[in-house]
Amino acid sequence: MNEIEPLAENILMPDCAIAIENIGKRYSIGHLRASDDGLRHKIENAIRSPLAWLKSSQRKHPKTEDFWALRNISFQIQKGDVIGIIGRNGAGKSTLLKLLSRITVPTEGRIRIDGRCASLLEVGTGFHQELTGRENIFLNGAILGMTRDEIVSKFDEIVEFSEISEFLDTPVKRYSSGMYVRLAFAVAAHLEPEILIVDEVLAVGDAAFQKKCLGKMGSFAQSGRTVIFVSHNVEAVRSLCQRAVWLKDGRLHQDGKTEEIIEGYFNSISDAVAFSTTNAEYGLTIQKVTLKNMSGEECGQFHPGDDLIVEISYDAEKRVERPIFALGVLGVGGSCFTSNMLLDGHRPEYLEGAGTVTCTFKSLPLLPQSYTVNMRIQAASVKEIIVPYQEVARFSVVGDLGEYGYRGEYAAWALRSTPVVVPYEWRLPDGTTAAVALSRRSN
Amino acid sequence: MSELLIEAGRTERQYWRDIWRYRELFYFLAWRDMLVRYKQTLVGVAWSLIRPILTMLVLTVVFGKLGKMPSGGAPYPLLVLCGMLPWQFFSAALAECGNSLVSNSNLISKVYFPRIVVPVSSIISSFVDFLISAGFLVVLMFWYRYVPPATVIFLVFFVLLMLGASLGVGLWVAALMVKYRDFRFIVPFVVQFGLYISPVGFQSSVVPARFRLLYSVNPMVGIIDGFRWCLLGSRDSVYWPGFVLTVVDVVVMVASGIWYFRKTEQTFADVI
């Protein structure tokens, strides 16, 4: 390419894999009026046109509202970088990936990509239910941009990785969801691009498989290739990426070392999460997840030793049999503790209509930091996930380190250690004992 | 070397290079469509023979025996089949091509490739069905001991016209269908209607001469006439102004179809 504007040429470093320059994507939303939906409405509007004319002259507002899913985003990714993109739902992560993988075009700005690029926004894109595993490997490979020869040469590896060799000639519609995902990821994992763009694909599959996927991505990254990784799973971002970009409301909020970004991300509690989700297949809506303190008030701030009550409000249109709830509390340093019906065996017989499930974590043994609550709901079959593991609420713990019994010279370093504290006692060689415990009474 | 520029606006140069890079995908998608079409059917590919045979019998009885239409010397079933091959291809291609983007919406919204691959491969898979039915025409010619005239070498030209007409209309419908699902209802209607206004069951010479040019506005008229002229040598079919009009029609449709498709394809993922 020789007709690059001088500006761009100045910016682009020689070993830059991706340069994003002032990119923006606008969607028209808001009054998504019937007029945009079909021909009938076009015709209808034409017939009613005199009336519509009057209306539009009265109100000057256009029918559609512009919504910038992304705006003024600029950053560069060096070759060999493994970069994580984090942010809330709706922050523009997926839009950015769609722009990078050329599924949709930017409204303004530009992106320069140097190297063969493959993107994985979904596991099993283009799989056809009626086709066999073997046929789908070829089809999916071709759709992801592999040539026929490449697929043939990697075929055995793909089959081995997916562990489905016995079912190679069975239509994938007869596969279990686990087999399906394994096969789909196996194909994608054997793409050999210089730049790999991955969306939340790790949210599926069982734990062992997720580990395998992460391992594959890790080795991919270690071989010096560029990876762009988007995830809600902050743990995965932490373990894979050196650098992270934090998107917030369509803007680039912060860009830097993963540790710092994640800390900032966790600390941005001020804007409380209003979580709600619906799984249409199961007819289950989680209306909200609220955190309450011991007196039953909604609360975002706790003291060490307080009880934390997580209240999950649901509305089940259909009867959901024996669902499995799991909650996890995560801090800056990672997962702290969980409550999981899969482990303790207590499950509701069924959910029907509106109701709540609450879980009380007794006397929080946490340091004064920010935490998130993640939740997952699995169906009775365990394999089927009704609500994938994700962040549903946030809270912070406030308190003085002295209350924890931390009175040493370097007590402030506590915030860099693990956030979970349990009472302990030292017995020293001279026979003295020293108990370290929360001084706050937990009532 | 393989640098890529994504920019608001056009990316003309990369477009054609990408089509070349994804050339194998044309084959794979067409292959998938064909594999899937007859999965879990008892007689499988035989369906692409049964349909034209039955239609041919019905049309022969209705127009040839009951309507006593002229056949221009050729056996009536042959006359009908020569008209039906391009017509059935056109209607099948139009239906499949029109639906192709919407039925592949999961691909469109999740992975990049030149979008034009999807409608074109649906035409390729319809063309395979056409070739199978054409095999039946050859068998029928042997049966009637009918030797095609020397004009048969021009058949290639009319096959190309037929492909062009399907591609042109197909691209329009596919692109429009992304936004206006109304075409899901319009297409079957047009196909049904078209069977009667195209000279499938009869010769176009039965149309009064003064209406013949107007009649030829429908590109399938020229194409079907061309098929009959090439395969049966029927002089009645030759109507030069009509042929010229057909060629113009097809060129305009292909060019405008590609233009409109290119113009709208960048927003497919946002709209679909």
- Specify the pTM: 0.73
Q: Whole-angstrom Cα distance, residue A103 to residue A235?
A: 28
B102 has a chain A CB within 8 A of its CB? no
Lowest-pLDDT choice from A5-9, A36-40, A371-375: A5-9
Q: Do B2 and A115 touch (CB under 8 A)?
A: yes
Among partner residues A135, A144, A145, which is closest to B35 by beta-carbon distance?
A135
Whether complex ipTM tops 0.90: no
Residue B19's identity, in one-letter code, is I
- Structure letter (DSSP) for residue B257: H
Helices (H), A270-375: 341-344
Return the closest-CA partner of residue A386 out of A332, A339, A322.
A322
pLDDT at A145: 84
Q: What distance in Å separates residue A209's CA from the closest CA in chain B?
A: 22
- Name the residue with tokens 């256009």: A62
Q: Whole-angstrom Cα distance, residue A370 to residue A397?
A: 6
Question: pLDDT, tens digit, for every residue of A375-401?
Answer: 999 998 888 888 888 888 888 888 778
Q: Whole-angstrom Cα distance, residue A83 to residue A254?
A: 13
Q: How much of chain A exceeds pLDDT 70, in percent?
A: 83
| A202 vs B202 pLDDT, higher one | B202
Question: pLDDT, tens digit, for every residue of A259-281?
Answer: 888 877 776 654 556 788 888 88
Among partner residues B7, B32, B182, which is closest to A40 by beta-carbon distance?
B182
Rounded-to-10 torsion of CA A111, A116, A122, A124 = 160
CA A108, distance to chain mean position in Å, is 26
Q: What distance in Å separates residue A95's CA from the closest CA in chain B?
A: 10
pLDDT range class, residue A372, cuts 50, 70, 90? confident
Instruction: Give, in degrees to the nearest 5, the angle at Cα B158 between B153 and B164.
Output: 145
B12 has a chain A CB within 8 A of its CB? no
CA distances from B173 to A40, A165, B93, B170 (A): 16, 42, 11, 5
Q: Do A119 and B266 touch (CB under 8 A)?
A: no
Structure tokens that stand for B259 in this block: 């233009």
Average pLDDT taken over every residue of chain A: 81
Q: Do A112 and B6 touch (CB under 8 A)?
A: yes
- Name the residue with tokens 């596991």: A123
Kindly list the residues from chain A whose CB atom is less than 8 angstroms away from the CB atom of residue B29.
142
Structure tokens that stand for A401 in this block: 């380190």
pLDDT at B11: 60
Half-sphere exposure of A384 (CA within 13 A, CB side): 11
Length of chain A: 443
Q: Whole-angstrom Cα distance, residue A323 to residue A385?
A: 10
| A366 vs B14 pLDDT, higher one | A366
Q: Do B270 and A131 touch (CB under 8 A)?
A: no
pLDDT at B240: 84
Q: A252 Cβ partners below 8 Å, 6+ apart?
A: A72, A73, A74, A75, A245, A246
Q: A443 Cβ partners below 8 Å, 6+ apart?
A: A294
Kindly list the residues from chain A whose CB atom is less than 8 angstroms away from the CB atom of residue B25.
142-143
Length of chain B: 272
**Sign of the dihedral defined by the CA atoms of residues B115, B18, B166, B246, in that order:** positive
Contact B242, B149 (CB under 8 A): no
Mean per-residue pLDDT, A344-373 = 90
Contact A28, A112 (CB under 8 A): no
B6 has a chain A CB within 8 A of its CB? yes
Among partner residues A40, A107, A126, which is closest to B107 by beta-carbon distance?
A126
Q: Is B214 helix (H, G, I), strand (E, B) or coil?
A: helix
Question: pLDDT, tens digit, for every residue of A27-41?
Answer: 876 544 444 455 666
A-B CB pairs within 8 A amount to 103
pLDDT at A2: 41
Containing B109, the helix (H) or strand (E) segment is none
- Scanning every residue of chain B, which has its alpha carbon at the shortest distance from the alpha carbon of A36? B179
Q: Whole-angstrom Cα distance, residue A245 to residue A18?
A: 14
Mean per-residue pLDDT, A159-187 = 87
Structure tokens that stand for A225 in this block: 């290739």
pLDDT at B253: 94
A169 has a chain B CB within 8 A of its CB? no
pLDDT of A326 > 90? The answer is yes
Kindly list the residues from chain B whose CB atom is less than 8 angstroms away from the CB atom of residue A100.
6
Q: Whole-angstrom Cα distance, residue A61 to residue A66?
A: 12
Spell out where B102-197 has E strands.
none
pLDDT at A43: 67
Q: Do B32 and A116 touch (CB under 8 A)?
A: no
CA B254, distance to chain mean position in Å, is 12
pLDDT range class, residue A402, cuts 50, 70, 90? confident
Q: Whole-angstrom Cα distance, residue B269 to residue B265?
A: 8
Structure tokens that stand for A276 in this block: 């709600």
Strand order in the sheet with A195-198: A117-120, A195-198, A226-230, A82-86, A243-248, A251-257
**Parallel/antiparallel/unpaired status of strands A324-331 and A433-436:** unpaired
| Residues of chain B falling short of pLDDT 70 | 1-3, 8-13, 236-237
| B72 vs A128 pLDDT, higher one | A128
Partners of B28 in the β-ladder = none
A131 has a chain B CB within 8 A of its CB? yes
